[in-house]
Amino acid sequence: MRTSAAIVMAACVLAGVGRGAANDAPGDIPWAMFAGNPARDGNSGVAFPSAKLGLLWASPKPDVIYKYQKGQTGSSPCLVSVGEKHLLIVGSYDRNVYAYDAFTGQEQWRFTTGDAVTATPCYAEIDGQPMLFAASSDRTVYAINPLTGKQRDSRDRQMWTHRFYPWAETVAPAFVGEPAVVVHDGRSLLLLTVWINDRKSQGNVQQSTLYAFDAPTGQVAWKTPIGPGTASAPAVGKVKDTPAVFVVHDAGSVNAFSLSDGKPLWPKPFISQDATRSGVSYAEIDGRRLLFFGSRLFSAFCIDADTAEFVWELRVGTWVDSTPAVFRRPGERTLVILGDYQQVIHGVDAFSGHGGWRYRSYGYFSASPVLIEFGGSPAAVMPCLDNHLYIVKADDGSFLFRAYTGEFLWSHYQRGATVFPSAAAARLGGRPLLAVASYDGRVHVFGDNGQDANVGPPRTRIVDALGGRIFAYVFGTLIVVALVYNGIRIARRSRK
């Protein structure tokens, strides 16, 4: 059986041999799913030899953008080689899945669903057949031929569709966790979570479920209910010697299920005691299996994957919706990299949660980091809600690159409800590419020999000198003091 890079990476995770860069073609390193691999650790394995990164192309704006919607205007991209074609595939707020030529931006096809597509499409080659899995908010997951954008395979046979829940009297879109394809016991499984909120007056349904499908056929291998709230993208790893799927529930719990049958592997979930929107990332470091995730308890957490026991907590004083990336280098300490709502990217020690570095900007970092090599330096790529894409050094947080990605489409956004899609990095046809979907409704692709896109670090201002928001706090305090003082003067005059 010829196996795609996405499946090979998953098999490496399950075998405990770490993340490898398997190639669809010589020199290719695809980005086939959210966070790059089933462990969701954000490592791309892609090197950009030059620190000069240019804009290669940007897609047209979507045809229909008619209201503000919580979440994002589209999915994160995936970058893959399918036969001789190099494709960027992305979901959109306008209900379509788009495929573009990864180097020119020319549209190859579009596939229309019944609602927004904000879950990252997932690519795999199974039994010689390239397959793309797109999960839509219309409560349906579709298997698509990535060469044609049709639900027909290379032999013109119908591919599968699965609807999670029928349309009812009052319809609410589904919330879908990012799909992943893994190999387990010689079987290709598609994993994803879906939250259904059916708002009809009688028989209201609010349920989140983890599904495992037989990827070639769409038959449900098993499914496991999680709870009444949304659930994150499933991450794959191990509990002791058992292949496992880890899922974060938005009520604040982390759950571990057997990859074989979906049964719980821990006596009880780990509870962080507050709403959680971050996904979980899995890593094996020096023989220890660890899970990392953010929380709206103003913290990021690390727990032991074997026992669900608490390891450390990083108090940041704000929400952390970013799924952490895990930066590893032989002979150096491992860092966990994530963003927060105080406009900071953190890099902290994976074993203690302390030390490391901080990089501050002027917009929320709700996306998940992508790790690359940039001009010879290990680097973290993070989209920011200040309408820019940032690249900082992964080992010390120093600034490397910033590119403008377009204005936010509406006059305001809701804190915690507006989540920037994460970036994607791949090497296709021997060329490194970096892609990100923006809130202007477009996809921007960067690479060598493009139009110079580095606008440099944010301009030095008095706000910089005083530590970002500190200036605003000081200025606000002075206003309050002035108002109080003026009130006292008026009161004294009144008594006289």
pLDDT of 29 strictly over 90? yes
What's the sign of the alpha-carbon dihedral 469, 470, 475, 480? Answer: positive
Residue 22's pLDDT band, with cuts at 50, 70 and 90, is: very low
Tokens (6 digits) for 368? 């998940």
Residue 245 sits at φ, ψ, to 5 deg, of -120, 130
Tokens (6 digits) for 96? 């379509």
pLDDT of 469 strictly over 60? no
Residue 460's pLDDT band, with cuts at 50, 70 and 90, is: low
pLDDT confidence of residue 3: 45
Q: Report the chain's mean pLDDT, rounded to a whole number.
A: 87
pLDDT of 215 strictly over 50? yes
Alpha carbons 245 and 233: distance in angstroms, whole number: 10
Q: Which residue has the tokens 């080689």?
A: 81
With pLDDT > 70 as the criterion, what percentage of the chain qualifies? 86
Element (H, E) at 14: helix 5-15
Residue 64's pLDDT band, with cuts at 50, 70 and 90, is: low
CA distances from 288 to 285, 291, 348 (A): 5, 10, 17
**Between residues 349 and 95, the one the model is more confident about:** 349
As a whole number, mean pLDDT of residues 392-405 equals 96
Residues 6+ apart with CB under 8 A from 164: 139, 140, 141, 174, 194, 196, 209, 211
3-state DSSP call for residue 494?
helix
As a whole number, mean pLDDT of residues 472-495 equals 77
What is the number of residues in the chain?
496
**Between residues 205 and 383, the one the model is more confident about:** 383
Residue 170's pLDDT band, with cuts at 50, 70 and 90, is: low
292-324 burial, b for 16+ CB within 10 Å, e for fewer? bbbbbbbbbbbbebbebeebbbbebebbbbbbb
3-state DSSP call for residue 423?
coil
pLDDT of 302 strictly over 50? yes
As a whole number, mean pLDDT of residues 458-482 equals 60
Residue 67's pLDDT band, with cuts at 50, 70 and 90, is: low
Is 433 in contact with 79 (CB distance < 8 Å)?
A: yes
With pLDDT > 90 as the criterion, what percentage of the chain qualifies? 65
pLDDT confidence of residue 119: 94
pLDDT in tens, 233-274: 999 999 999 999 999 998 889 999 999 999 999 999 999 867
pLDDT of 425 strictly over 90? yes
Q: What is the pTM of this model?
A: 0.87
Is 170 in contact with 199 (CB distance < 8 Å)?
A: yes
Residue 316's pLDDT band, with cuts at 50, 70 and 90, is: very high
pLDDT confidence of residue 225: 95
